[in-house]
Amino acid sequence: MRRLIGAGAATVLATALLTAGAMSYADEPGDPGATDPLGIATAAADALVAQRGDELKLTAEDTVAQTGVTRALGLNYVSYSRSHAGIPVVGGDFVVITDDTGKILYTQVSQGEAIDVTTTPEVSAAKAAKTVTSLVDAPQGTPQLVVLAWTDPALAWESIVETTEDGAPSLTHVFVDALTGREITRYDEILAGTGKTYYNGQGTDVTVGTTSDGGGFTMADPERSGVSCAEEGGSPLTDDDDAWGDGTGTDLVTACVDAMYAAATEWDMLKAWLDRDGFTGDGEGFPMYVGMDDVNAYWDGSSTTFGHSQDGERQLTPIDIVAHEIGHGIFQYSPGGSGGGNETGGINEGTGDIFGALTEWYSAQANDEAHDPGDYTVGEEGGLLNPGEPIRYMYDPSQAGDPNCWTEEIPGTEVHAAAGPINHWFYLLAEGTAAAGDGKPGSTTCNDSTLTGIGIEKAGQVWMGALNGKTSGWTYTDARTAALNFAATSPLFATCAEYDATKAAFDAVTVPAESDPACGK
């Protein structure tokens, strides 16, 4: 479960998300005569697949399917899923990145080696299901045979188990070795008009998108497809006069006003700063629900749900909490989805915090008690712990007991704590080490370096560029490589200054390099 706080196993993405809507390369290769950038990019990427380049780790038994193509931040991204001998490969996805001429700039490949496994299970699906039941005693679907390739490739049975955690829904993917019958790994798919606002100018009016149905109004944004708000388990709110809420912290209609305002702000930030069309990247958003009787908020793979503060005096819909949960959706709806281990889960949690900070700073609210100004703390307005107390500090994660620096312990660290290094990296990239006024207290580094930031907008572009090339099972080293590849090749950056700053920030939080790309601008 992708929750804002609390412990949990990590990560996300059903195999179905890796293959949904896939196009077989063999059936429909890119048009070599295409003249538009996306057509040119697709043709170039398909040609690389046809050549079975070594960097893609393809074998004679592998087939691929194109899962998406997008253009953002000056580059084109063509993503693929993989099957081996007709069996879906979880962790076999890859992304080919090109410029507008079709020149292949770099590739990001999830799996570390070519697949060489038997495709005949020695453990039956029924026996695998019994193993899963012994581990998680809850309803499960029929096990599906897959090749799991996030680490050493293995033939496995994947079962999806429906359960609850602290009153919220959970979909746990359990992988059982198809040769030995032992569990390999598991991950959780669900990640924990005008209206009176509580968080964005307390008691004053803000504008939110609503839809007129002829006899009244519905809290569904007509300009941001899919964005709506309802009480938990219900349909989008309705109103006779399009004037919503009373501006108090416990009112659920006011909570929806704040959620809609935050979602619209994040949507606009994505377009203006990060060249992304909506939360999914293709112009779609997600529904939101308020009124959950729990001190938490979560993303369930298709929507967000928000509870209440520790003292029950306010709903958890300030900008950074709403943007954090939607950030999990952005992570999931980037190439590679959200599947992986605790390290992937930690990067996912950090991504939520990064989008929370980006949205707060884009909103540019007044620095007073009635508003939610930009900062690099998480959840302080919502009172998840105590009123005014953050649950995470991006500039110094250790203030919440989380690691500031990457170590070999991170892959086994609880996902919210494992977000520490990526949060710290983002702050250092955006703001550097020196204090710079309200919301920017300065920071130390893990290698005693002194850094100058490039600004939050450019830092957000670097991270979005990395996400556009993301693969499943992402590690910190993978994220470092993806971010540096983007900074080295994107036409947004005329020189290597942003690349150098990105590299220095990763070094400053001791994220190891596999082989850093070069920047030749």
DSSP code per residue over 127-169: HHHHHHHHHS-S-B---EEEEE-SSS-EEEEEEEEEEEETTEE
> 323 by DSSP, 3-state: which?
helix
The position carrying tokens 């048009």 is 31
> 23 by DSSP, 3-state: which?
strand
> Which of these, 262, 245, 251, 369, lies nearest to 313 by C-alpha position?
251
What are the angstrom distances between the C-alpha of 344 and each of 13, 340, 397, 466, 473? 11, 5, 18, 14, 6
- Set 84, 328, 371, 416: catalytic member: 416
What are the angstrom distances between the C-alpha of 301 and each of 32, 250, 283? 36, 26, 17
* Calpha distance 466→111 (Å, rounded): 17
Alpha carbon of residue 467 to chain centroid? 8
> Which of these, 98, 89, 58, 55, lies nearest to 485 by C-alpha position?
98
CB 404 within 8 A of CB 396: yes
Is 325 considered catalytic here?
yes
* Calpha distance 125→144 (Å, rounded): 8
DSSP classification of residue 4 = S
For 331, the token pair is 């992570």
For 276, the token pair is 């992304």
- Set 165, 189, 266, 325: catalytic member: 325
> Which of these, 156, 149, 223, lies nearest to 471 by C-alpha position?
149
Is 328 considered catalytic here?
no
> Which of these, 455, 378, 380, 474, lies nearest to 112 by C-alpha position?
474
> 93 by DSSP, 3-state: which?
coil
* Calpha distance 157→466 (Å, rounded): 31
Residue positions annotated with a catalytic role: 325, 416
